[in-house]
């Protein structure tokens, strides 16, 4: 079995990092909620979309080493790997930011994966199974090409796409509880919930 994983906001939890960076840059009041979406919504509300766009490149490039992994993910991956299940990462990610300093976002992400997605000395996703695609359409095409049995993403629009492979099971990672399960996918709030779903299927 091959399980595909999205990267940003599925594996990597940027919530506190975006909040801290926005505070350091004096872009937000400290009273707003410490989440990525709250920072984005505040900057859009005050008409500072440009700052939000540039900050994304800064966070995904220069500051990604400070980003956290979602709780429960490593345990899930280790348990599944011990059962012979393989993982791939398929992400829609440009090589450089749209604006601002031209960080190599692919290099930064791969380094984060190498340092964080590990079980002791073993990397849980091999470099050859990491794919960064320039468009959402190319991302979905890659999911199909590599034959993912399941794909886990935080974006309903990916899982609901008409292009999404019919043979691939769809799972929505939904930590902010903003989306319910649909005819397209099953929604889970935590990685522990996702782990239990697979354990029940495989037991």
Task: Say if residue 141 is in the same domain as residue 194.
Answer: yes
- Residue with the two structure tokens 């410490």: 34
**pLDDT at residue 1 greater than cutoff 90:** yes
CATH number of the domain where residue 126 is located: 3.40.50.1000
At residue 50, what are phi and psi to the nearest 5 degrees?
-60, -40
Task: Say if residue 114 is in the same domain as residue 147.
Answer: yes
What range does the domain containing 40 cover?
Answer: 15-66
Split at pLDDT 50, 70, 90, the class of 201 is confident
What is the reported pLDDT for 127? 96
Average pLDDT, the chain: 96
Residue 73 CB partners (closer than 8 Å, separation 6+): 11, 191
Other CB atoms within 10 Å distance of the CB of residue 121: 5
Task: Say if residue 97 is in the same domain as residue 187.
Answer: yes
Split at pLDDT 50, 70, 90, the class of 163 is very high
Task: Say if residue 53 is in the same domain as residue 141.
Answer: no
Task: Say if residue 81 is in the same domain as residue 150.
Answer: yes
Helix, coil or strand: residue 154: coil
Split at pLDDT 50, 70, 90, the class of 200 is confident
pTM for the whole structure = 0.95
Q: Dihedral sign for Cα 155, 161, 163, 166, please.
A: positive
pLDDT digit string (tens) for 35-73?
Answer: 999 999 999 999 999 999 999 999 999 999 999 999 999
Task: Say if residue 160 is in the same domain as residue 180.
Answer: yes
Task: Say if residue 138 is in the same domain as residue 197.
Answer: yes
Task: Say if residue 78 is in the same domain as residue 60.
Answer: no
What is the reported pLDDT for 203? 67
What is the reported pLDDT for 37? 93
Task: Say if residue 131 is in the same domain as residue 119.
Answer: yes
Helix, coil or strand: residue 170: strand
Task: Say if residue 87 is in the same domain as residue 34.
Answer: no
Q: Who wins on pLDDT, 199 or 20?
A: 20
Task: Say if residue 42 is in the same domain as residue 140.
Answer: no
Task: Say if residue 43 is in the same domain as residue 103.
Answer: no
Number of domains the chain contains: 2
pLDDT digit string (tens) for 99-139?
Answer: 999 999 999 999 999 999 999 878 999 999 999 999 999 99
Lowest mean pLDDT among 30-34, 90-94, 120-124, 194-198: 120-124
């Amino acid at each position: 079995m091959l399980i595909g994983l999205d990267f940003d906001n599925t594996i990597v939890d940027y919530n506190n990092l975006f909040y801290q960076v926005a505070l350091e840059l004096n872009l937000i009041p400290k009273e707003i909620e410490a989440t990525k979406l709250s920072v984005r919504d505040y900057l859009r509300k005050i008409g500072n979309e440009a700052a939000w766009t540039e900050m994304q490149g800064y966070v995904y490039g220069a500051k990604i080493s400070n980003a956290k992994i979602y709780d429960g993910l490593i345990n899930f991956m280790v348990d599944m790997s011990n059962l012979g299940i393989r993982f791939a990462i398929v992400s829609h990610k440009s090589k450089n930011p749209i604006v601002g300093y031209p960080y190599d976002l692919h290099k930064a992400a791969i380094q984060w994966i190498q340092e964080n997605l590990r079980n002791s000395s073993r990397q849980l996703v091999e470099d050859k199974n990491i794919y960064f695609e320039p468009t959402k359409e190319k991302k979905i095409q890659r999911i199909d090409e590599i034959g993912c049995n399941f794909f886990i993403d935080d974006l309903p629009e990916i899982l609901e796409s008409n292009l999404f492979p019919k043979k691939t099971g769809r799972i929505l990672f939904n930590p902010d509880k903003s989306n319910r399960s649909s005819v397209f996918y099953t929604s889970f709030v935590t990685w522990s919930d996702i782990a239990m779903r697979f354990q029940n299927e495989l037991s």
